[in-house]
Amino acid sequence: MKIRTLMPVLLIALLLPALAAADVCIKQATHQDGFSMGGQTMAERNDTTVVWLSKVAARSETSEGTFIVRTDKDTLYILNDKKKEYSAIALSAMGVIDKMFPGDDAESKKMKEQMNAMAGMMTIKATVTATEETKEVKGYKCTKYDILFNMGMFQIKTVNWATKDVDIDWAVYRKAAFAPMAIMPGGQSVITELKKLDGLPVMTEGSMNMMGNDVKMTSELISVTKGDAPKGAFDIPEGYKKVAFAMEMGM
């Protein structure tokens, strides 16, 4: 997974709800400062995340790629829209490397080795701290939550203003929202911790500290609207080729 796109993935995990009745479209604006590391310079990123949700499926799309969660098929699809490729992972296999890559072929063995190596270097941990501080944000009554993500080489600290003034099916929300997070080493324990965030984040402000660099980032809820998702929104587009999962796919 590319470091420069890690924070948007975390924000998607926090912001991806599923309403109980009709399909819903959620739009959010994200920003990440530019930074330099290891001789490479990353430009600042401004993006818009568009999320569509149904009773059993969710689609989250950014300029970097697309996630489709199908709870009815027990599958997370990761799309690389630029290459017109996709990979598929069983939701029930998330966090168990041998189940995520069950084959004995060379590609599966390679991915197991990479995931095990990553687990040793940058297992992700999270701590959610609820506060009693409240305020109105974008018309929603919100409560403040502090979240710390620790990944060994770098840390991400976020301040999240979350609301409960939305009609949410929390069971579907949690399964769909946190599926991308489960790919990462330590992801299952992070998902358990993130469930302590009791509400839908409306505004998130954070900073990522990497080797002395302090990278600022924000996420802001633009809109939440009900309506029918576009036809085929939760299906693999025609012409996309299935490939083995790789950590940089769609991220």
More confident site: 208 or 129: 129
Retrieve residue 232's tokens: 């085929």
| Three-class DSSP category at 136 | strand
d(CA 18, CA 1): 25
pLDDT value at residue 1? 40
**Residue 125 located in a structural domain:** yes
Q: Which helix (H) or strand (E) holds 167?
A: none
pLDDT digits (tens, 9 = 90+) for 23-50: 888 889 999 998 887 778 888 999 998 9
* Alpha carbon distance 23, 44 (integer Å): 32
Quick check: is 198 in a domain?
yes
Range of the structural domain that residue 151 is part of: 3-242
SS3 assignment, position 218: strand
Mean pLDDT of the chain: 80
Residue 80 lies in a domain: yes
Q: Is residue 250 part of a domain?
A: no
| pLDDT at 204 > cutoff 90 | yes
3-state secondary structure of 79: strand
Within-domain flag for 13: yes
Q: How many domains does the chain fold into?
A: 1
Q: Is residue 251 part of a domain?
A: no
Q: In the beta sheet, which residues pair with residue 126?
A: 149
User: Per-residue pLDDT averaged across 205-218, rounded?
Assistant: 87
Average pLDDT over residues 65-73: 89
**pLDDT given at position 220:** 95
Q: Does the residue 150 lie in any domain?
A: yes
Residue 247 lies in a domain: no
* Chain Cα centroid distance, residue 30: 13
State the pairing for strand pair 200-210/241-242.
Answer: unpaired
Q: What is the CATH number of the domain that holds 80?
A: 2.50.20.10
**What pLDDT is recorded for position 251?**
39
Confidence check: pLDDT of 5 > 50? no
Structure tokens at 121: 């270097």
